[in-house]
Every structure is written in structure tokens, then in C-alpha cells.
Amino acid sequence: MKIHFECSPKTRPSMQFDAKAVDAMLAKTPGLADGLEFTFNSDPAQSDAYLADADVLVVSNPVDLSGLDHRAPKLRWAQVMSAGVEKVIAHIPDTVQFTNARGAHTARAGEFGITTLLMLNNRIPAFATQQRERVWKQSPQAIVAGKTVTILGLGALGSASAKWAKLFGMRVVGVTRSGRPHEHADEVHGMDGMAAAFEKSDFVLITLPLTPETKGLVSREMLDHLPAHAGVINIGRAEVMDYDALADKLRDGSLSGAVLDVFPEEPLPESSPLWSVPNLFLTPHSGLDDPESFAINCLKIFAENLEAFKAGAPLKTPVDKAAGY
């Protein structure tokens, strides 16, 4: 069985996978590598030659997978080494099993999620704006315990953030597709309960994937449901929220602050007006990266899926193509 790792030359170092790292992970399960042949490529000009013989494809974004059904006629399983799959999902044939690496960011997501909540509670984006403007204006703040955070999406990222929020004494309200109860949430609503949840929120934390259902979900009208003292965080996908509306509300003071880690275009262009929006703190899509463990976590997920694939068992992290994640 031929397993091919395809990586773009633009892929960040934390998402690079080489033969040494793959061998080290597979060696932890005796016999897992038996009968397998591995190839690795980061040159787009050579991609088709490798795809032509691949039974299994492991992808680190951003990679062009258009026409995959013709380019990889033997393909039986595709593993994406990220949680988000919006850039490749349309190219994965329905006959091919499809998995992602959800859960690889969990530890960092919890830590970064609570960091951003504490930043907003302590008005760090506002103080950063004052610093740039050389304004001295003291503003004492109450502790974060007892305040309400509404978390959109309680998958791996949202769950980890919810756990940390509860440890800090916060009230956690979840908004999910299913509305099912969650161990780290005080209450959970379906998507139709989002507006009502926003009206009682001190903070909103967005961890949603990008799907046709979530694109533009946090609209100008939805943001209008937030009280003026509220703050917003996005560590999911940029296109879930109307950033122009967010910027307007930060400028006119109808929201108190925001932290964004994801953007419609990355790197964020120098011409983007977001750079100068008051009370907005930007992080360059680095909040969930852990150079020590991310690649290891992804390879662990791949190894677990590979063991199941060889055994003919259900894979551990299947992507629901209908749902988009």
C-alpha cells in the first residue's frame, strides 16, 4: 500500500512532516508500518507523479487537489493534517474515505482561548490603543469570574476553551448545531438561540469551522445583539464573521474590544483597515500553533486512523462532507 505525504512549500514549519517523524510515530505500534511504502513531496511540479500511484494521501495545506479523482485514481483514503477542511473538501471524491486532524490543537486552543478572554476582561486591546495614541486613561476592571462567555461551536477548540473558562469561574453558554448538553457548559442552545445568548454575553468566542451554514453567521445584525461592554474573539474561521461590521462597532464604541487570530486573506495586507481599528488586537494566525506538539499530535491521529484503515474498521476522525467538517 502506497501512502503519499503532499506538502506545499508554503506550509508553515509546524505543519511539515518528514520520513523521520512518520517512522518514529509508526514505530510506537508494532507492525503498523508493515507492507507500507511512503513517499514525500513539496514540489507542485512533481505532485501528479506521486498522486498517480497513491492509495492513501496525507495533505498539509495549502495544496491544490483539484481534479483529484483523475489525478489519484487509486486513492482510497485522504487525511488532511488540519481541523479545517474547507479548502479541500470539494475535491475529495465521495468514494474516498476522508479524515481530518481535529483535536491536534486542543491544548493550545484552551490556553489561547482563556488568554484572549483575560485580555478582553482586562481591556488589553483598549490599553494597546491608548498606548499607540499616548493616552493615559485608567480603567479598573472586575475579575472574570462570574462573567458569561458564549462559545460558538463546542468541538475540540470550543470544548478546550470552555474547560478553561469554567476553571476561571466563568459562566459558559454554548451555541452548536445540535444544541446538546456539554460537560463544560452551563447551557447549550441550537443556532436559533444565538441572538438571545448574545444579548446576555460579556464575551463571544468563535471556534466554528467554515461551512456553507456558518459563512457570514455572525452578521452585523447578530453583532447588534451584543451589549456595548461585550468583547469578541475569533479563533475559528474569519469568514464566519462580518469583520467590516465588527470594525464599525469598535470604532463607534458599541463593542468594547476584540481579538482576531484568523483573517480572510493571510498574511493580512498592509492596506487592510483592520490594522488601525481601535480596541482591536490582531494575532497573525499563531494562537493555536505549538511547534513542540502540533506535528506529533497530527501524526498520532494519522497513526490511529491508519491502524483502523488497515483493519477495515471505522476511521477515528471522519469528515462529514454534508456538514462540511
Residues classed as catalytic? 237, 266, 285
User: Is-contact 261 288, C-beta < 8 A?
Assistant: yes
Residue with cell 499616548: 134
- The H-assigned helical ranges of 8-104 are 19-26, 47-51, 68-71
- Containing 252, the helix (H) or strand (E) segment is helix 243-252
Task: Kindly state the cell numbers that stand for 207.
Answer: 471556534
User: Is-contact 150 162, C-beta < 8 A?
Assistant: no
Cis peptide before 62 (omega within 30 of 0): yes
Q: What are phi and psi of 297, to 5 degrees?
A: -65, -40
- Which pairs from 304-308 meet CB under 8 Å and 24+ separation? 305/77, 305/79, 305/99, 306/3, 306/26, 306/32, 306/56, 307/29, 307/32
Q: What is the rounded distance in angstroms from the CA atom of residue 102 to the CA atom of residue 75? A: 22
Q: How far is CA 40 from CA 20, 24, 58, 133, in A?
A: 11, 15, 9, 50
Nearest to 249 by CA among 213, 205, 218, 208: 218
